[in-house]
A and B are shown apart, each in its own frame.
Chain A
Amino acid sequence: MSNEKLVDPGRRGLMVATCAAGGVVGLATAGALVSTFQPSERAKAAGAPVEVDISDVAPGTMKVVEWRGNPVWILRRTPEMMASLANNDSKVADPLSDKFYQIEVPAYAKNETRSRAEHKEVLVVVGICSHLGCSPSSRFAEGAQPSLPNDWNGGFLCPCHGSTFDLAARVFKNKPAPTNLDVPPYMYLSDTRIVIGKDEKGEA
Chain B
Amino acid sequence: MAAFKETTFPVDAPAAEKAVGWIDDRFPLTKLWNDQWGAYYAPKNLNFWYIFGILATLILVMQIVTGIFLTMHYKPDANLAFGSVEYIMREVPWGWLVRYMHSTGASAFFIVIYLHMTRALIYGSYRKPRELLWLFGFAIFLALMAEAFFGYLLPWGQMSYWGAQVIVNLFGAIPLIGPDLSLWIRGDYVVSDATLNRFFAFHVIAIPLVILGLVAAHLIALHEVGSNNPDGIEVKDTLGPDGHPLDAVPSHPYYTFHDLFGVSVFLLIFSAVVFFAPEMGGYFLEYNNFIPADSLKTPLHIAPTWYFTPFYSVLRAITADFMYVLMAVVAAYVVFVFLKSRLAFKTKAIIAVVGLLMIIGMLPAILDAKFWGVMLFGASVMILAAMPWLDHSPVKSIRYRPTWHKYVYALFALSFVTLGYLGTQAPSPVGGVVSQVCTLIYFSFFLLMPWWSTMGRFKPVPQRVTFHPH
Contact = CB atoms under 8 A, between A and B. Distances in A.
Interface of A: 37-40, 43, 47, 64, 66, 68-71, 102, 127, 131-137, 146-147, 158-162, 173-178
Interface residues of B, number: 40
A69 B42 CA distance: 57
Contacts of A136: 298
Contacts of A133: 165-166, 168-169, 172
B165 A37 contact: no
B196 to A, nearest CB: 13
Interface of B: 162, 165-166, 168-170, 172, 179, 183-190, 192, 194, 198, 295-302, 316, 318-321, 368-370, 373, 426-428, 432
Nearest to B315: A161
Contacts of A159: 298-302, 426
Contact of A135 (B296, B319, B427): B296
Contacts of B188: 39-40, 43, 69
A173 B320 contact: yes
Contact of B162 (A38, A71, A160, A178): A160
Given A131-B370, A159-B426, A37 B166 contact: no
Contacts of A127: 296
Contacts of B179: 102
A39 B316 contact: no
A132 B171 CA distance: 9
A71 B161 CA distance: 14
Nearest to B432: A162
A160 B312 CA distance: 11
Contact of A70 (B169, B194, B295, B319): B295
Contact of B369 (A64, A132, A135, A176): A176
B321 to A, nearest CB: 5
Nearest to B185: A37
Q: Is the interface of A mostly helix, strand, loop or mixed?
A: loop
Contacts of A102: 179
B189 A161 contact: no
A164 B57 CA distance: 45
Nearest to B165: A133
Nearest to B301: A159
B164 to A, nearest CB: 10
B194 A39 contact: yes
Nearest to A177: B370
Nearest to B180: A38
A127 B298 CA distance: 10
Contact of B189 (A47, A160, A178): A47
Contact of B166 (A70, A132, A146, A175): A132
B451 to A, nearest CB: 33
A159 B298 CA distance: 8
21 contacts: A37-B198, A39-B186, A43-B189, A64-B296, A69-B189, A69-B190, A70-B190, A70-B295, A71-B296, A132-B172, A133-B172, A134-B302, A146-B426, A146-B428, A147-B428, A159-B302, A160-B166, A160-B302, A162-B427, A176-B318, A178-B370
Contacts of A71: 295-297
A135 to B, nearest CB: 4
7 smallest CB-CB distances across A and B, nearest first, come from: A162-B427, A69-B190, A71-B296, A135-B298, A133-B169, A132-B169, A132-B166
A134 B298 contact: yes
A39 B189 CA distance: 8
A102 B183 CA distance: 13
A175 B319 contact: yes
